[in-house]
Amino acid sequence: MPRFLAIFESVCQTMAYAHSRGVIHRDLKPSNVMVGSFGEVQVMDWGLAKVLPSGGAVDDQAVQRNEPEPVLSVIRTARSDADASQAGSILGTPGYMAPEQARGEVELVDERADVFGLGAILCEILTGEAAFTGRTVGETQRKAARGDLAEAFGRLEGCGADPELIALAKDCLAPERDDRPRQAGQVATRITAYLTGVQERLRKAELARVEANARAEEEKKRRRLTVALAASILALVTVGGGAAAWQIQERQAQLAKVETTLARIQTLRDQAAADGADSARWGTVLAAADEALGSLGALAASSPAAAWPHYARRLPRNRHRPSATG
């Protein structure tokens, strides 16, 4: 589709130039458009072309007054030896002919007939068929003469093309010539504006895609960073929790050892008190007290908040051997 529309734009520009020089083609159709191997576009077969009077189109006011058509120049080729400007002559291809041309109203055929042909070409680009179709050439020509475009408009409405293209095709195919664009230059302007708009939309879509990809990549980076930070925090918590658990277990072991030593001291003290002044037993008590003090020192170094005064009160207050009385 983009390639066909670019070709169609070139055809419109070609006809815009011809119309600016007062020449109409009168047989525009896809088979008269040739595209070269390198993209060059040529509008062919000007055998039915006609040079309009100086100043542009046929004098519409003279036609309305039923005055005879002025003598015009006719471009003649080998296929157009007959006079192509005689009233009642039907020349062209029915599927692409403007209604006034299909009715043989030669005096009404001007640039707007070529505009109709451009619309018929665009209709075929969009729908795959010409403006007028029929089982026979005669049926197609009768539809063209009546300007029966209901089928073509229905196909355009259902083709799925952009609204701008459908509107342009329908404007060019207006049954009444006064409802069509005046010259091919106006058609060229509209198709060029459409193609420029398409390129702009494509450019914006590409920029939006690039921005979306950049945002997605940035979001991925943020997520990876978040996951890494979460893993680090989890590792720290795990390590810290393990260390804290180890410290708790270590303190509990030290406390248990202190408790055991204190219980042993209590037992030894009771035994020493019962034996009176037996220095050997009191020596054992003092040795056990020294051991308890060492354990409490280690516990206080690892946890200053430990219940040091509580345990200290339970130890003997001096290392002198007690007297026999106490």
Q: Please tell me the predicted confidence (pLDDT) of residue 246.
A: 74
Q: Which of 38-42, 52-56, 262-266, 283-287 has the lowest mean pLDDT?
A: 52-56
Q: Tell me: pLDDT of 320 over 80.
A: no
Q: Is 179 a catalytic residue?
A: no
Q: Which one of 202, 229, 258 terminates a domain?
A: 202
Q: Tell me: pLDDT of 60 over 50.
A: no
Q: Tell me: pLDDT of 214 over 80.
A: yes
Query: Mean pLDDT throughout 45-55?
Result: 83
Q: Please tell me the predicted confidence (pLDDT) of residue 74.
A: 44
Write the pLDDT tens digit of every residue in 171-207.
999 999 999 999 999 999 999 999 999 888 888 888 8
How far is residue 264 CA from its own chain's centroid?
83
Of 120, 84, 75, which Cα lies nearest the Cα of 99? 120
Query: Mean pLDDT throughout 232-240?
Result: 79
Distances (CA, A) of 254 to 129, 259, 265, 296, 298: 99, 9, 16, 8, 8
Write the pLDDT tens digit of every residue in 79-90.
444 444 444 456
Residues 166 and 260 in one domain: no
Does any domain span residue 15? yes
Catalytic position from the list 27, 45, 171, 178: 27
Task: Give the phi and the psi of residue 24 in degrees, each rounded to 5.
Answer: -115, 150
Does any domain span residue 217? no
Mean pLDDT for all residues in the chain: 80
Residues 153 and 263 in one domain: no
Q: pLDDT band at residue 309, thresholds of 50, 70 and 90?
A: low
Q: Residue 163 sits in a domain of what CATH number?
A: 1.10.510.10
Q: Tell me: pLDDT of 284 over 90.
A: no
Q: Please tell me the predicted confidence (pLDDT) of residue 77.
A: 44
Residues 41 and 115 in one domain: yes
Q: Pull the structure tokens for residue 267.
A: 């037992």
pTM above 0.85, yes or no: no
Percentage of the chain with pLDDT > 70?
76
Q: Tell me: pLDDT of 271 over 60.
A: yes
Q: Tell me: pLDDT of 71 over 50.
A: no
Q: Please tell me the predicted confidence (pLDDT) of residue 305.
A: 54
Residues 166 and 278 in one domain: no
Q: Please tell me the predicted confidence (pLDDT) of residue 98.
A: 94
Q: Tell me: pLDDT of 59 over 80.
A: no
Q: Please tell me the predicted confidence (pLDDT) of residue 81.
A: 44
Residues 279 and 163 in one domain: no
Domain count, the chain: 2
Residues 196 and 260 in one domain: no
Q: Tell me: pLDDT of 54 over 70.
A: no
Does any domain span residue 223? no
Write the pLDDT tens digit of every residue in 91-147.
789 999 999 999 988 888 999 999 999 999 999 999 999 999 999 999 999 999 999
Does any domain span residue 220? no
The whole domain housing 322 covers 248-326
